[in-house]
Chain A
């Protein structure tokens, strides 16, 4: 039995949660879009700008040294967080989207040729579809799609049938943002590797909920955004295997990413700097370090237990609402519930719940191919984090019932 979290104490760490929205206490159930930030993260930002602000890596002075140390410390923390073999394999980007585009434009450009194939799944966020379509179109490669069942589970038999030596890359998410399915990435990676394909895992939705060990998983590429991990917006992380990263051509050119520049020819810097052109997002990277510290101070099993309990409780309570159907009922799910109600447009539900102070997400969740698969214009999505409470779920269900009464 996992140790229980002291939720009141945890909630006290998140200033944003303590406010009234439309004259009601805020209930924040849009954690899959972005998580809230603990005070420690906000303080780290303020501390940096008030005391340490300097450009990193190039300065000799004390502030530059402090800023550089703090910035590089986050890289170390991330290497530990992901169990990466070295800090050089942790590359800072501006987000998941930027990380995927980086891999598409470097690894993709160097390795994908006419007639090759890239496999994505029907569960992907547009960020993990469009960059591949762009490079496929440019190179004359093909995109193949792993189908998804009515429950929201990827069809692994169909995936096996898609695999062949022309497949250069498989890009799937660890967890679906739209319906919460946890995908069997261990199996996907092993199957892809067996035909010589590399794998990019989009971890945007998993890092806040599941432990990721890049070595145990034999990951080629792993990307995520800090802002979905209680950190600030504008920072993302790309992990890659060393040989892959070293063989990849640089992405953007500029300062930081070079060793020597001359008009006769320029040499590029080593990992990870080869992929970090220009002044990076120093403050937010440092604050991501504070987010990791915060998260790691909470027992992981207690955190998982809280989220699991919230998911089970909300699922049970929502199911009894007449006409409500949960979209995505995979046995392996994180604490995300997508649902629709017969004859009611999701947008109407979202607008009225907001009037009750409740933040959920409505729409296609940047996963239009998945919505198309289910014949839906969109869903309502409630996504929980460990700082959410059972009382919030009670009030959410009550307000949803009132909302539906108004609409039906």
Chain B
């Protein structure tokens, strides 16, 4: 059993709480994007693309034992930073845990605008797609 989803969210909120201004926050986010585990090339397929208006996101999911494991990538680094956090929070959990999750950390760290910009970056669709995978695997 991994760390509970909400515990990871609290960790992220604490990490972002260290920064006073937006620039530091975004530098950290960009850093997370750069450190995102590379996606297996074979999974960067057309079927795995989530089309945003401006940048593409790739998402792959597989079941390992009871757990859903996600891999993802994006062309844009800020989106990648967001992806890195979403994977850290949701990957390696059971479908039931993923389906029951409420991603409140995004709002609390002040990044909800990236999920509100409908379609423009693919993140909203990515979160939905992660839920769909969880449902399909449950």
Q: Would you call A26 an interface residue if the criterion is a C-beta within 8 Å of the partner chain's C-beta atoms? A: no
Q: How far is the CB of A352 from chain B (nearest CB, A)?
A: 6
Which segment of B1-9, B10-18, B19-27, B91-99 sits at the interface?
Answer: B19-27
Query: Are A355 and B23 touching (Cβ within 8 A)?
Result: yes
Residues of chain B contacted by A234 (CB below 8 angstroms):
none
| Residues of chain B at interface, number, CB under 8 A | 16
Query: Are B78 and A351 touching (Cβ within 8 A)?
Result: yes
Report Cα–Cα, A407/B120, bound state, in Å: 19
| Residues of chain A at interface, number, CB under 8 A | 17
Residues of chain A contacted by B78 (CB below 8 angstroms):
347-348, 351-352
Q: How far is the CB of B61 from chain A (nearest CB, A)?
A: 24
Query: Are B30 and A377 touching (Cβ within 8 A)?
Result: no
Query: Are A347 and B26 touching (Cβ within 8 A)?
Result: no
Q: Would you call A232 an interface residue if the criterion is a C-beta within 8 Å of the partner chain's C-beta atoms? A: no
Report Cα–Cα, A351/B22, bound state, in Å: 12
Interface residues of A in 7-56 (CB under 8 A from B): 22
Query: Are A377 and B27 touching (Cβ within 8 A)?
Result: no
Q: Would you call B55 an interface residue if the criterion is a C-beta within 8 Å of the partner chain's C-beta atoms? A: yes
Q: Given A22, A348, A362, which contacts B22 in the complex, CB threshold below 8 Å?
A: A22
Closest to A362 in B: B54
Closest to B31 in A: A406
Q: How far is the CB of B28 from chain A (nearest CB, A)?
A: 11
Q: Given B23, B53, B55, B120, which contacts A345 in the complex, CB threshold below 8 Å?
A: B55
Report Cα–Cα, A362/B27, bound state, in Å: 20
Q: How far is the CB of B90 from chain A (nearest CB, A)?
A: 23
Closest to B79 in A: A347
Residues of chain B contacted by A347 (CB below 8 angstroms):
54-55, 75-76, 78-79, 120-121
Given contacts A345-B76, A406-B26, 6 further A-B pairs with CB under 8 A are: A347-B55, A347-B121, A355-B23, A377-B55, A378-B54, A402-B23
- Can you pick out 29 interface pairs between chain A and chain B where the beta carbons lie within 8 Å of each other? A22-B22, A344-B77, A345-B55, A345-B75, A345-B76, A346-B54, A347-B54, A347-B55, A347-B75, A347-B78, A347-B79, A347-B120, A348-B76, A348-B77, A348-B78, A351-B78, A351-B114, A355-B26, A362-B54, A363-B53, A363-B54, A377-B54, A377-B75, A378-B54, A406-B23, A406-B26, A406-B27, A406-B30, A407-B77
